[in-house]
Amino acid sequence: MRRRTTLLAWARSLTLLAGVGVPCLAQAADLLPPPPPPPLPPIAEPVDFAGGWYLRGDGGWGDLELRRTEAVDVSKPPLPYIYRTIEDKVGSQWFAGAGIGYQFNPWLRFDATGEYRFQTKWQFYAQDKSYGEDDKFNLNKGKFDSVVGLVNGYVDLGTFFGVTPFIGAGVGVAHHSFGKSYDYGNGTSSVPLGESPAKDKTSFAWAAHAGFAYALSHNVKLELAYRYLNMGSAQTGVVTCIPDCATKTVYRLKELDSHDVKFGLRYMFGAPAPLAPVDYPPGPLVRKY
């Protein structure tokens, strides 16, 4: 009898212990720290510079000026001109061009460009005093266009709020193609009294640049710039009288320069694409009591 009572007492004790311990163990399991999250994918460092080749296209308008026009008698023997300039002017020019370049580092780049400058007008009106008291007036008109090739270097001055200011310089050649020019005598004639054949002339050219670039995308940049462009000299053909006369004259346009406003686009090859946002897996939920 006593042995049976002892076994019952042990059974009741184990039942009570299980009833109390199991909830405590479950609660303790809930309080354990969560397992570590899975490793995150590597994140690439942001790229501030991507060097390499680029293509560019440009267009704009230039306020063309010239230092002076020289009238030179090329007849044999020549008669030196004595004249007083009354009007000496050229018109403005629209232009369009393209080029290829290379970005060496975040602040230095070079490119080679070519552009066509559309036809513009030239007019020269002077008082010819070569004949003493028998003063004469002479009006000459013509048109010319130009092709300019430059090798340019630029320094980018840093990027501020997405805008990169830059300065630069370039050297090259300017090829001027003069069409026929006409002599209208004292300017009262409605038809020319003399004319010249077409004439081409190539001169040394140089330029100075200043402007801003703005990134439209990771590999396309928009440019707005000012350029001073010196295109050397142009020249007419030999102007002779109609039908013929002893006087033969050429007109040399000295120091043609232009104040240009340029718009351009640069397309960068191999520029890195912007980093896509990373979607991380959600972490484990932690129960709180």
CATH code, domain with 219: 2.40.160.20
User: What are the distances in angstroms from CA 76 to CA 238, 247, 252?
Assistant: 13, 9, 19
**What pLDDT digit, counting tens, does each position of 122-155 carry?**
999 998 887 765 668 889 999 999 999 999 999 9
pLDDT recorded at residue 81: 82
- Report yes or no on 286 lying in a domain: no
Residue partners of 61: CB distance under 8 A and separation at least 6: 92, 93, 94, 95, 260, 261
Confidence of residue 276 (pLDDT cuts 50, 70, 90): low
Does residue 273 carry a pLDDT above 90? no
pLDDT of residue 37: 67
Nearest C-alpha neighbor of 145 from the set 179, 171, 169, 111: 179
116 versus 2: the higher-pLDDT residue is 116
The DSSP bridge pattern shows strands 199-215 and 194-195 to be: unpaired
Average pLDDT of the residues in 174-196: 88
Lowest mean pLDDT among 113-122, 143-152, 192-201: 192-201
**Beta carbons of 205 and 175 less than 8 angstroms apart:** no
Residue 47 lies in a domain: no
Which among 56, 253, 269, 268 is positioned nearest to 150, based on CA atoms? 56
- Residue 57: inside a domain, yes or no? yes
Weakest mean pLDDT among 54-68, 98-112, 235-249: 235-249
Domain carrying residue 204: 52-263
> Is there a domain that residue 123 lies in?
yes
Q: What is the mean pLDDT of the chain?
A: 83
Q: Is the pLDDT of residue 197 over 70?
A: yes
Establish if 13 belongs to a structural domain: no
Task: Give CA–CA dist 223/113, Å, rounded.
Answer: 15
pLDDT at residue 4 in the model: 55
> The tokens of 239 are what?
């102007």
More confident residue, 23 or 206: 206
pLDDT (tens digit per residue) in 212-249: 999 999 899 999 999 999 999 999 999 988 766 767 89
Between 207 and 136, the higher pLDDT residue: 207
Distance CA 183, CA 192 (A): 5
pLDDT digits (tens, 9 = 90+) for 7-36: 555 556 555 544 555 454 455 445 556 666
Q: Which has the higher per-residue pLDDT, 81 or 160?
A: 160
What is the number of other CB atoms lying within 10 angstroms of the CB of residue 261? Answer: 14
Is residue 40 situated within a structural domain? no
Let me know if 251 is exposed, middle or buried by CB neighbors in 10 A (0-12, 13-18, 19+).
buried
154: in domain? yes
| pLDDT surpasses 70 at 90 | yes
For residues 18 and 172, the model is more confident at: 172
Specify the pLDDT at position 25: 45
Count up the domains in the chain and report the number. Answer: 1
**Is residue 46 situated within a structural domain?**
no
